[in-house]
Amino acid sequence: MSERRTKTIKTDYLARVEGEGAMLVRIADGQVEEVKLNIYEPPRFFEAFLRGRAFTEAPDITARICGICPVAYQMSSVHAMEQACGIEVGGQLRALRRLLYCGEWIESHALHVFMLHAPDFLGYQSAIELAKDMPEVVASALELKKTGNELMTVVGGREVHPINVRVGGWYRTPRKRELKPLVEKLERAREIALEAVKITSTFDFPDYDQDYELVCLDEAGAYPIDLGRIVSSRGIDIPVEEYEDHFVEEHVAWSNALHSKVIGRGSYLCGPLARFAMAFDRLSPLAKEAAKEVGLDASERNPFRSIVVRSVELVYAADEALRLIAEYEEPDAPSVEFEPRAGVGHGASEAPRGLLYHRYEIDDEGTILSAKIVPPTSQNQRTIEDDLRGVVERSLDVPDEELSLLCEQTIRNYDPCISCATHFLKLDIERR
């Protein structure tokens, strides 16, 4: 009887992702036997923690789920609470939310593109190694991130866990003159972003693609960031409150993060690649042009090219922020007046990493009775595992160390926010 040749690629601690993750891929006799994305960060009990708190606290508490995408949590939570209370926040109050969100997209994407993902493509172990050889590139990345942070501080009151967001609008809205100093910085950010599209488009991309079911928000006339219906590339087109009729979370033994799937189908993809494919036409002219110039279009399904897509979204976010600032008129009141009422509210927004869904039930005093939060990284978990399987299947002859790095790079395509996905997410590759 011949000995069964198996290899296991194992990474106990996945670097350059938010939070803690481990990866396992087991190959036996030339077949990929097992793929697991293991989240070992201690489970986050935010959903339970929110119970009994006032509805007004939801944006502040949930913001602390993530240090990189607090605005996403705030936006999804206020939308849900506003729906429960039967109010709408529109006009300039909404425009400011979108502006704040642009700040977050900029700082989050800037960090990921240059410091977390680019090292993979350029053969560096870390952003520090990259900085030693290409200081100008890293310096621009930091400048870009800083501009995103500054925008968040001006509109949100603070860059990490903005304090200015409330159900109904804002505690304070900015004066036009407070936004003015950001214009030059955003124009410079746009320049850096355009360079990033060019630079990232020249990277070596593994030849891999999938026919994903793409899921994102949809709003007529706007690239999806803060509001909209939920749509998919396989025909889903629903209001946010019907999310749970179409998407379900399942617990898997090897992970602290739940796995999502489309009911009746399977894994799906949310995030930049989904938005880009579904809403390409609604990018700003400059962003569209930048994409076209490097041969990127709405048919892109190679997840490794997400880094270029993120760079295009950086151009868009800078463009959109500049537009919103140019069109800003100081609103009469910083927020909408209302009283809480008993009910259930659903909210969703596009975090830098993808669709973020919140659902709350509150009583007639606005006390939270239950909370459900589905971050983009948990929605993408199954898809990440599919990709790992697919990439490894095509690379069985690649030496172990290189394969392990390739697997890590594959995971980083999703810019996974493991801290968010653990309400609980870890990566191990085993090759025997």
- Site for another protein, rule CB under 8 A: 16-19, 42, 64, 66-68, 111, 115-116, 126-128, 131-132, 135, 138-139, 142-143, 145-146, 149, 159-160, 419
- C-alpha distances (whole Å) from 367 to each of 35, 56, 63, 420 are 42, 9, 18, 24
**Residue closer to another protein, measured from CB, 379 or 419:** 419
**Residue closer to another protein, measured from CB, 115 or 274:** 115
Distance between CA atoms of 45 and 65, rounded to whole angstroms?
Answer: 10
Identify the residue whose tokens are 């509150």. 362
Residue 6, Ramachandran bin (φ over 0: left; ψ between -120 and 50: alpha; else beta): beta
Cβ 13 to another protein, closest distance in Å?
A: 9
**Residue closer to another protein, measured from CB, 191 or 393:** 191
Alpha helices by DSSP H, 86-167: 91-110, 118-122, 127-133, 135-156
Cβ 218 to another protein, closest distance in Å?
A: 30
Cβ 211 to another protein, closest distance in Å?
A: 31
**Residue closer to another protein, measured from CB, 44 or 261:** 44
**Residue closer to another protein, measured from CB, 80 or 127:** 127
DSSP letter for 263, please: T
Residue type, 388: L
Distance between CA atoms of 379 and 259, rounded to whole angstroms?
Answer: 6
Residue type, 131: A
Cβ 352 to another protein, closest distance in Å?
A: 13
- C-alpha distances (whole Å) from 339 to each of 56, 59, 168, 325 are 11, 17, 10, 31
Closest by CA position to 416, among listed 270, 313, 237: 270
- C-alpha distances (whole Å) from 141 to each of 91, 115, 166, 317, 389 are 33, 8, 31, 15, 32
- C-alpha distances (whole Å) from 1 to each of 24, 179, 284, 323 are 27, 74, 63, 70
**Residue closer to another protein, measured from CB, 284 or 306:** 306
Cβ 56 to another protein, closest distance in Å?
A: 18
Cβ 388 to another protein, closest distance in Å?
A: 21
**Residue closer to another protein, measured from CB, 26 or 117:** 117
Tokens at residue 162, please? 């903005």
**Residue closer to another protein, measured from CB, 232 or 410:** 410
Residue type, 350: E
Closest by CA position to 273, among listed 237, 241, 305: 305
Cβ 330 to another protein, closest distance in Å?
A: 28
**Residue closer to another protein, measured from CB, 19 or 340:** 19
Cβ 380 to another protein, closest distance in Å?
A: 17
Closest by CA position to 165, among listed 300, 296, 47, 58: 58
**Residue closer to another protein, measured from CB, 62 or 83:** 62
Cβ 17 to another protein, closest distance in Å?
A: 7
Distance between CA atoms of 48 and 21, rounded to whole angstroms?
Answer: 23
Cβ 417 to another protein, closest distance in Å?
A: 9
Identify the residue whose tokens are 């009911």. 263
DSSP lists the bridge partners of residue 262 as: 247
